Amino acid sequence: MRLNELKAHELLPLIRRHEVTVEEAVTETLDRIAALDGTIQAYITVAREHALQRAKEADARLAKGEPPRPLEGLSIAIKDNICTKGIRTTGASRYLEDFIPPYDATVIERLEDAGAIVVGKTNMDEFAMGSSTENSAMFSTRNPWNLNRVPGGSSGGSAACVIANEAVFALGSDTGGSIRQPASFCGIVGLKPSYGLVSRYGLIGYASSMDQIGPMTRDVRDCALILNVIAGNDPRDSQSYPGELPDYAGCLVPEISGLTIGVPKEFLEEGLSGPVRDAFMKALDRLEELGARVVEVSLPHVRHALAAYYVISSAEAGSNLARLDGVRYGYRAPGQEDSASMMAASRGEGLGPEVKRRIVLGTYVLSAENREKYFNEALRVRSLISRDFQEVFKTCDCLVGPTSPTVAFEAGEKTRDPLEMYLSDVYTVPPNLAGIPGISVPCGFDEEGMPVGLQIMGKQYDEATLLRIAYAFEQATDFHRRRPEVPQKTYQSESAGGERSV
């Protein structure tokens, strides 16, 4: 096995014992990117020089006898809507194509302080708006399990590079399913933490009341290791959770007997594809075998979740993205006579069609004549959904359901019909509205070998129980051990495709 194929918790002991240098480990990941990413196209920017420099610094520290840090030498891929100081951060938008942030997001500071090394920035739907990464203004990312399929979205690049061994793990962001759905499509573990658990400082805002950054990893243990580093109060994010947090990796015991697991019946209604239903039903059996009590529950208001989500998220997005006006940074349309036309043209030319669609929608639902009918109504639905969850969590330790109604779909299949694309998030949106955590773990494959994800939803700030259940399920199955066979170019070749510069 090559170093870049190891999980974080497998690679860390080798580095700690000095059996492998950080430079060796990082180089293998960078070589893998160079070889493969021309095919997968997971990265918008590869920070090769930056990563090698950091690797050498880490080796120098270790050589001096400094104690290894919690994530020492791990190659991480960062979704391109998370600001990295000195490394361009585009949000997969033409508007920010040349934007190099003067500051690091809090999660980047924390990961780097813990010894992790940023190897690149991953592709996504422009400003995280989409479910297939096809809304990227740069290019589309392919699903490593089948190059004709989408990797999901919006964190498609992060999901694809993790399963393709182009990074040890990745960060994604999730506003309505953008971590969990691509994790499900690519057969990895993706956690959307409780709202406020991980600082949003430095995350390009999409819908601020729902955005969360989370880990995308090859297994649950890695997920817990990363969460340990990135979770925790940040005074720079006013919505940050101030409470004490447990050691998430320490909570991983494969023991769930006696726990009550609810299955919301609304998640098994029309729209759910056969293969996903089959895999999900088998997963339920497995959970029962592990000693959990599986019960049917109801979340009566979730049928309105998608509508409420698109109203609220678009309203917030329209406002958040208003700052992209050509005045201070980013794209500026040439040849305009006055500031108002310059701002309008810069937005018109710099932003993509899905982004514009949501800005228009957001402006519409907040306008004086529509606000009550749409925005305020959506807020009411949101609080009803939160109450639904609170109600079922009185009797259940967690809820489970499929992560997405289908496996990864064909590239181009849903780009014509935005509503069809939106339905891909129908199961992942409710936790964002309620602020509760959700995780997707691999729970099977369809006949064509495409992965299926199981979504587990927990009580707010109770990631420990969520991870324990996910861990127990994972340990009782072997879906997470499978890897796609990606047709690749010669391993040593210096592919220009992976060398997109910083």
Partner 1 sequence: MFEPVIGIEVHTQLKTESKLFCSCSTRFDAAPNRNTCPVCLGLPGALPVLNKKALLFGIKTGLAFNCEIAEFSGFDRKNYFYPDLSKNYQITQDAFPIGTNGHIDVMTDGKTRRIRIKRVHLEEDAGKSVHEGGTITGAAYSLEDYNRAGVPLLEIVSEPDIRSPKEAYEYLLMLRRILLYLEVSDCKMEEGSLRCDVNISIRPEGSDEFGTQVELKNLNSFRAVERSLEYEVERQSQLVASGGEVIRETRHWDEASQVTVSMRRKERAEDYRYFPEPDLAQLNIRRSWVDEIKATLPELPAARRMRFIESYGLPEYDASLLTDTKELADYFEAVVREYGEAKTVSNWIMGELSRLMNATGIGIESVKVRPGDIAAMLKMIDKGTISGKIAKTVFEEMFAEGKSPETIVKEKGLVQITDEEELAKIVDCVIEENREVADQVREGKDKALGFLVGQVMKMTKGRANPQAVNKLLRQRLAN
Residues at the interface with partner 1 (CB under 8 A): 81-83, 89, 91, 96, 99, 101-103, 105, 200-205, 207-209, 235-239, 315-316, 318-319, 322-325, 327-329, 338-340, 343, 363, 366-368, 371, 375
Q: Which amino acid is at 186?
A: C
The span from the CA of 226 to the CA of 221, in Å, is 9
Q: Identify which of residues 81 and 154 has a Cβ nearer to partner 1 in the complex.
A: 81
- Nearest-Å Rg of the Cα atoms of the chain is 21
The residues annotated as belonging to the active site are 79, 154, 178
Q: Identify which of residues 252 and 305 has a Cβ nearer to partner 1 in the complex.
A: 305
The span from the CA of 170 to the CA of 227, in Å, is 12
The secondary structure of 353-392, three-state, reads HHHHHHHHHHHHHHCCCCCHHHHHHHHHHHHHHHHHHHHH
The span from the CA of 258 to the CA of 294, in Å, is 10
Q: Identify which of residues 201 and 393 has a Cβ nearer to partner 1 in the complex.
A: 201
Helices (H), 46-154: 48-63, 106-113
The secondary structure of 225-276, three-state, reads HHHHHHECCCCCCCCCCCCCCCCCHHHCCCCCCCCEEEEEHHHHCCCCCHHH
Largest pairwise CA distance in the chain: 70
- CA distances from residue 435 to 98, 193, 196, 368, 473 in whole angstroms, order as listed: 33, 8, 8, 28, 24
Rounded to a whole number of angstroms, the minimum distance from the CB of residue 269 to partner 1 is 31
For the chain, counts of helices (H) and of strands (E): 15, 11
Q: Which amino acid is at 382?
A: R
CB 326 within 8 A of CB 332: yes
The crossing angle, in degrees rounded to 10, of helices 353-366 and 305-320 is 100
Which candidate, 248, 249, 83, places its Cα nearest to that of 173? 83
The span from the CA of 295 to the CA of 293, in Å, is 6
CB 253 within 8 A of CB 224: no
